[in-house]
């Protein structure tokens, strides 16, 4: 089953800057929170964020959970815009505490200046949909965390959701209801039957 998903972002300013000659510059603090209505009037179930954090632990171990300076209008991470590398994630209650290294890349060096001289935020980037109750749905896919100023300055971003485009996501069958699975099975069978009939007609 495919669904139309949009880029969803949430910004946190609850972090501190850690600097040392040996380890460089790091951002440490709350990266995301569950079961808490944020400034965009959205909430995330803890079970969904636990699932997504579990999925990206492999990227952390492989040192490949990159983040950009600013939010791009797409889900892909652009190597030219990489500024941070998330190195640690852990749960403390309903909060995800993270640690990200600010890199010595062109964008990373710009980021170092910005976080020293002004206010920045650490912001999650993911694909998904939002229910009428304000909760992000089960189709949510966490991509990374980026270092941002204020994405709402861009007219394409509305309350942290990029409205300029949608992306198709395939929802695993385990996330479908029994009725939805039956409907999908009937549609697949019907399509298969018509394909067989067409093949027979062509052979006549």
Closest CA to 126 of 31, 47, 9, 4: 9
123 in active site? yes
Cα separation, 56 vs 100, whole angstroms: 14
Q: Bridge partners of 121?
A: 148
In percent, the amount of the chain with pLDDT more than 90 equals 45
- pLDDT of 56-84, one tens digit each? 999 999 999 999 998 888 888 999 999 99
Closest CA to 27 of 38, 19, 37, 35: 19
- Give the pLDDT mean for 88-98: 95
Q: Record the pTM.
A: 0.73
Cβ atoms 44, 32 nearer than 8 A = yes
CB atoms within 10 A of CB 1: 14
- Annotated catalytic residue: which of 12, 26, 71, 124? 71
Q: Which pLDDT score is estimated for 119? A: 79
- Give the pLDDT mean for 15-25: 83
Q: Which pLDDT score is estimated for 174? A: 47
pLDDT at 194 over 80: no
Query: Please, which pLDDT band fits residue 52 given cuts at 50, 70 and 90?
Result: very high
Tokens representing residue 174 in the block: 């385990």
Query: Please, which pLDDT band fits residue 191 given cuts at 50, 70 and 90?
Result: low
C-alpha dihedral sign at 11, 124, 50, 84: negative
pLDDT at 26 over 70: yes
- Annotated catalytic residue: which of 32, 123, 152, 191? 123
pLDDT at 118 over 90: no
Instruction: Give how far Cα 100 sits from Cα of 3, 39, 120, 156, 191, Å.
Output: 32, 23, 14, 27, 49
- Of 82-96, 146-160, 176-190, where does the model show the most confidence? 82-96
Cα separation, 9 vs 12, whole angstroms: 10
- Give the pLDDT mean for 26-35: 91
Tokens representing residue 78 in the block: 């652009």
Q: DSSP labels for 61-123?
A: HTT--EEEBS--SSSSPPGGGEEEEEEEEEEETTEEEEEEEEPSSHHHHHHHHHHHHS--EEE
Domain ranges of the chain: 2-171, 172-204
């Amino acid at each position: 089953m495919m669904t139309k998903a949009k880029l969803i972002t949430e910004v946190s300013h609850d972090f501190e800057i850690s600097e040392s000659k040996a380890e460089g510059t790091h951002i440490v603090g709350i990266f995301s929170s569950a079961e808490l209505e944020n400034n965009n009037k959205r909430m995330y179930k803890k079970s969904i964020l636990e699932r997504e954090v579990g999925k990206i632990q492999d990227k952390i171990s492989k040192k490949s959970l990159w983040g950009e300076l600013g939010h791009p209008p797409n889900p892909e991470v652009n190597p030219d815009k990489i500024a941070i590398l998330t190195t640690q994630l852990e749960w403390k209650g309903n909060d995800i505490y993270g640690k990200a290294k600010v890199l010595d890349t062109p964008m990373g060096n710009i980021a170092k200046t910005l976080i020293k001289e002004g206010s920045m935020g650490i912001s999650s980037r993911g694909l998904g949909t939002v229910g009428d109750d304000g909760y992000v749905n089960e189709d949510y896919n966490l991509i990374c965390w980026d270092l941002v100023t204020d994405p709402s300055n861009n007219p394409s971003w509305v309350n942290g959701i990029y409205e300029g485009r949608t992306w198709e996501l395939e929802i695993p069958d385990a996330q479908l209801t029994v009725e939805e699975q039956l409907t999908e099975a009937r549609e697949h069978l019907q399509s298969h039957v018509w394909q067989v009939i067409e093949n027979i007609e062509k052979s006549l």
